[in-house]
């Protein structure tokens, strides 16, 4: 699994567990930088620690503040809004240039749904030892 794939998997696991995601904002609003293919993506992180690390280590994000978003609001408002505006969702960008997977909103929603189904599936009960 690539680093970006691992970061994306962690994003959905963490988001379902904590019931929130994070982005950044400054006086100009929430960024939507151009990706390698010229599209725009709004960055989201799964934990406050991840977003604070990006703010502290990536020069382009200095001066930004972390913003918490409740998971239901992200699902019901942010994902459809990004879709309507033709924006991708940057998922757990990392590294010195804050890069990673940029998902179409519908793909992010499908991944979120899958993570929620996995989280709500009860674990199999342990098999009792044989006498």
The DSSP line for 35-91 is: -TTS-BEEEEBSSHHHHHHHHHH-GGGTT-EEEEEEHHHIIIIIHHHHHHTT-EEEE
So what's the pLDDT on residue 100? 87
So what's the pLDDT on residue 5? 73
pTM exceeds 0.75, yes or no: yes
65 has which bridge partners?
25
So what's the pLDDT on residue 23? 98
So what's the pLDDT on residue 37? 87
So what's the pLDDT on residue 122? 63
The series of mean pLDDT values per 10 residues for the chain, 131 residues long, is: 76 95 97 93 97 96 97 97 97 92 95 90 54 52
So what's the pLDDT on residue 60? 94
So what's the pLDDT on residue 6? 80
Among residues 45, 52, 30, 26, the alpha carbon closest in space to that of 99 is found at 45
């Amino acid at each position: 699994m690539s680093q970006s794939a691992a970061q994306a998997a962690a994003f959905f696991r963490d988001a379902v567990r904590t019931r929130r995601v994070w982005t950044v904002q400054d006086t100009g609003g929430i960024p939507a930088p151009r990706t390698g293919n010229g599209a725009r993506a709004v960055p989201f992180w799964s934990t406050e620690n991840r977003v604070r690390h990006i703010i502290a280590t990536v020069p382009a994000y200095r001066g930004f503040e972390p913003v918490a978003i409740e998971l239901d609001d992200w699902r019901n408002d942010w994902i459809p809004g990004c879709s309507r505006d033709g924006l991708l969702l940057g998922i757990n960008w990392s590294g010195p240039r804050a890069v990673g997977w940029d998902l179409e909103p519908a793909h992010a929603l499908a991944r979120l749904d899958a993570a929620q189904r996995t989280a709500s599936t009860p674990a199999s009960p342990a098999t009792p030892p044989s006498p």
